[in-house]
Amino acid sequence: MKNFALLCLMLVTSVLSLGAFAEEEEVVDTYAYYGFEPDIVTNYISNRKKLGFVKISVELMVKVPEDLIVLEHHDPLLRAAIIEILGAQTEDKVKSLTGKEEIRRECYDTLNRLLELEIGKPLIVNLLFTKYLYD
């Protein structure tokens, strides 16, 4: 009788753990990335006589791969917004790590705001600078 009760307990535990595992698999998100091609190159406000420039590669992370089509359609609008943000930055901000993060955050917020105006919802989960060069 003890063995039967133990066997039933093991069977119930196995079934419950399989159900929990199946639920976890359903929650997993599939992320996709949209990269601007070619890299974005623009000037920033320089403290020197020489003109300063920044060259970046930007990747936009979205939850649903189908959203990549929407991002591709709005590429010119999003690219122009990033160029405008970068062009308004000071040399000190462009060259500092905290400034770089502030610029990244501003780009993220602005692009999501633009997408919300255009399609009614923000799509971007994260914005990554995969290349960040300045002179």
Q: Which residue has the tokens 């600078």?
A: 129
* pLDDT at residue 50, rounded to an integer: 85
Q: What angle do CA 109, 39, 123 make, to 5 degrees?
A: 30
CB 59 within 8 A of CB 32: no
- Full-prediction pTM beyond 0.85? no
Residue 66 amino acid letter = E
pLDDT in tens, the chain (135 residues): 444 444 444 444 554 555 544 445 555 679 999 999 999 999 998 888 888 999 999 999 999 999 999 999 999 999 999 999 999 999 999 999 999 999 999 999 999 999 999 999 999 999 999 999 999
CB 48 within 8 A of CB 66: no
CB 103 within 8 A of CB 94: yes
